[in-house]
Amino acid sequence: MARYLVVAVLVMAFGSTAWAGGPPPVFVVVDKVVLEPNADAPERIRIEGCFVRESEELLREMHEKGLPWEKTYMKPVEGYVYMSIEKGHEKECRAEWAKWQKAAGTGKVVEVGACVLGGSLLTVKIRKLDEKTTQPDAVYTTDYLEAGGQRYVEYEGKTFGLGFQPVKDLLAFAKARQKTKTDNK
């Protein structure tokens, strides 16, 4: 009986952390942030820029086939996410939204979440910049912006840093997109 109890405790302790230690599931290069209806008392946020996110399907494949973390990310895309404030967490949302505003136009990569948990930014629809909507696509969830202890990817390392392939791909994509916009002016 004691043996089964030990096994049960080990499964509970380690089985639920099988995903632990993973990279942030969302990386963003922020171009612009729009707060609505106004910046003084915003109820909605629109974050424009380039995004790269992990995919549930690719995560399953990683665990089934032993693929590296880099292979769990989709290709970078340009667009925007549009979200509403989380009721009961207005103060926290607005504080994070101010951080998003500070990131806009810096060209730095913002990391969101940790260990496959990224809140609404992991699943919210990324719309094309010219795509119109009148309703937010998700409720903004707090506590994922600095989940890994920092906001920007500024450390070198190949393990989730500037040398991490999805981050390199995102930066190259954002740079190429910016060059195209500059050339078209």
Does residue 13 carry a pLDDT above 50? no
pLDDT band at 150 (very low <50, low <70, confident <90, very high): low
DSSP per-residue letters across 24-61: PSEEEEEEEEEEES-SSS-SEEEEEEEEEEB-HHHHHH
183 vs 121, which has greater pLDDT?
Answer: 121
**Mean of pLDDT values over 137-155:** 83
- Using CA atoms, how far apart are residues 40 and 141, in angstroms rounded to an integer? 20
pLDDT at 4 over 80: no
- Sheet strands (E) in 77-154: 77-84, 109-112, 138-139
- pLDDT band (50, 70, 90) for residue 27: very high
Is residue 96 scored above 70 in pLDDT? yes
Note the pLDDT tens digit of each residue in 108-145.
999 998 888 899 999 999 999 999 999 999 999 999 98
Q: What is the SS3 assignment for 158?
A: coil
User: Could you give the percent of the chain with pLDDT greater than 90?
Assistant: 57
Question: Is the model's pLDDT at 146 over the cut of 70?
Answer: yes
Mean pLDDT over the full length of the chain: 84
For the chain, the structural domain boundaries read 27-183
Predicted confidence at residue 69, as pLDDT, reads: 84
